[in-house]
Each structure stands twice: as C-alpha cells, then as structure tokens.
Amino acid sequence: MDLDGKTAVVTGAGNGIGAALATRFHQAGARVVLADRDVAPLERVTSALNAVRPNSAVAVVADIGSEQGNIDLIQAAQEAFGFIHLFFANAGVAMGTFLEDTDEPTWEAAMNINLHAHRWAAKHLLGDWIAAGEGYFCSTASAAGLLSQIGSAPYSVTKHAAVAFAEWLSITYGDRGVKVTCLCPQGVNTNMLNPPGRQDGIDKRGGDVVKASGAVLEPADVADIVYDTILAEKFLVMPHAEVHTYEQRKVDDRDRWLAGMRKLQSRIFNS
C-alpha cells in the first residue's frame, strides 16, 4: 500500500510507538490524524508534522475506551481529510497484576482500550471500506498476545484477544478489499515499559522480564518495520526476531514452554 496522498489515523499518537508511526506515515506523504487523550504531547507531535508540511496533520483528543469515542474520532478524521485509508488502533494500557489483586474497573479499562477499541473502530469503518473495496486496519497487540505477560492477567488476556480479533478480521474481510496488519513487539523504549516518575501499570518485575527477554528497540525503528510490512501488505509485524523463536518453542512443546515460563517468573519475582 502506497501511503502518499492517503489518510491515516493513529491512536495513542502523543508519544511512543504511536507518535513514531504517525511521523513515519507522514514522511511517506500521508495526511495524518493523531488521536490521544493527553493533549500536550499530542499537540507537540502534530505541530511538528505541520511545520514540515502545513495542514497535513490534525490532532483529535479522543477517548477510544468507549464506542462513542471511536465514532467521534472517525467522524473528525473524515471531516478533516475525507476517506480514511488506514486506521491504526495503537493505543493501549498496561494494567493489572494477579487475579486476587486486580479489581473489576481495571479489567474493564484494559478490555475497552486494548480490545474493544479495535472492534468499535472496525465496526464503524467497514461500511465505507467494503463499499469502496479498500481499507487498511492495523492494530498494536504485543508479543504478550503471542506468548504471555508474566505478572499481568489483564494485559495477557487482552493482547491475546487483540491478535485473535485481527486474525478474524483478515479472514472475514480479506477477500473484500480490507487489509489487516497486527504489530506484536516485545520491549520498546516507551512510557509503558519505562513509566516516567512513579511506577504505574504492570508490576515492575513484569517489565524486567520483558527487558531480560531481548533487545529494547526505539519506537522509530519499530515504525520503520511496520511501514515496510504495510507496503508489503503482510499480516504480522514481529520486530523482535527472538519472539518468533519463543513462539515456535511454545507451539512445539507447550508444556515445556509453560514450565520454562514458570521458572523465569520464579527467578524474576524471587530475586
């Protein structure tokens, strides 16, 4: 897919992977709609893009944790630039730890942002896409969606579900012009992995597991890999080669893989 002259929407675009994706798509010639709930970083990224190419980027403060928030975002993007060629459901949260320590509002927030936001966006994009015979849905899941996240039940469950939804979307609508790409990174140098100030979200030890499992990439490097995957119209983006190895081990001998994960958990949590 050639993004030059096309319209791309990116959620969670105020920083991290989302900001890098929006910047990379903009470099490719796309008009970009950037969505986030944090106003200041969102406006900084948008202003930087418009300084390069005036009137080519629009910031939308959006609550994608609700269906109406996704409807409002899609309408704002259409009002700004017309037909949405690519929608990247990138926003995500790292919330919750063990079952006994995670309350219902945390589960609900994780489900809404990490999974239902993808469903709600696709639901309100598919009509135009099927009618036009084209459209591209991208989502950010996680290596945890292929493997698992030690220390966080909500993160593991919602990221597995995000991968499953992307697969289902590709199977169901792939022959009707809708392309789907799913990003499954491991460690990326973002606020999710390295929260500024106090520690929020997933137990710090869970983050330590991610850092110990492979290289920590920069968001811009991940965005380049995503862009190349979109050009090739491939489904899975796996920026960390080691994740493929881990996934193969999981499929080849799931019991052995689970035992290994328990050993890793014990080593990290008891150190």
DSSP states of 166-201 as a string? HHHHHHHHGGGTEEEEEE--S-BSSTTTS-SSS--S
The total domain count for the chain is: 1
Quick check: is 250 in a domain? no
SS3 content of the chain, % helix, strand, coil (to 5): 55, 15, 30
The three-point CA angle 30-10-138 to 5° equals 95
CATH number at residue 210: 3.40.50.720
Mean pLDDT of 145-170: 96
Quick check: is 135 in a domain? yes
Q: Which residues pair with 86 in a beta bridge?
A: 8, 136
Mean pLDDT of 74-94: 97
Mean pLDDT of 16-28: 97
pLDDT digits (tens, 9 = 90+) for 172-196: 999 999 999 999 999 888 777 666 6
Quick check: is 146 in a domain? yes
CA 157, CA 168: separation in Å to the nearest integer? 16
Percent of residues, the chain, with pLDDT higher than 90: 81
- Tokens 């193969």 identify what position? 248
Q: Which residues contact 206 (CB under 8 A, 6 or more apart)?
A: 97, 149, 150, 151, 152, 155
Quick check: is 171 in a domain? yes
The pLDDT value recorded for residue 117 is: 98
Mean pLDDT of 24-37: 98
SS3 (DSSP) at 163: helix
The pLDDT value recorded for residue 1 is: 86
pLDDT digits (tens, 9 = 90+) for 63-78: 999 999 999 999 999 9
How many Cα atoms occupy the beta-carbon half-sphere of 40 within 13 Å?
0
Quick check: is 111 in a domain? yes
Which domain, by its residues, includes 189?
Answer: 7-241
Q: Is the confidence at residue 233, as pLDDT, over 50?
A: yes
Q: Which two tokens stand for residue 97?
A: 């730890």
Quick check: is 194 in a domain? yes
Mean pLDDT of 51-70: 97
The pLDDT value recorded for residue 203 is: 56
| Residue 40 near residue 20, CB atoms below 8 Å | no
Q: What is the mean pLDDT of the chain?
A: 92
How many Cα atoms occupy the beta-carbon half-sphere of 227 within 13 Å?
23
The three-point CA angle 158-164-169 to 5° equals 125
The pLDDT value recorded for residue 214 is: 64
Q: What length is written for the chain?
A: 271
pLDDT band at 270 (very low <50, low <70, confident <90, very high): confident
Quick check: is 267 in a domain? no
Q: Which two tokens stand for residue 257?
A: 């893989």
| Residue 125 near residue 84, CB atoms below 8 Å | yes
- Return left, alpha or beta for 15; rule: phi > 0 is left, psi -120 to 50 is alpha, else beta: beta
pLDDT digits (tens, 9 = 90+) for 97-127: 889 989 999 999 999 999 999 999 999 999 9
The pLDDT value recorded for residue 262 is: 92
The pLDDT value recorded for residue 200 is: 46
Quick check: is 261 in a domain? no
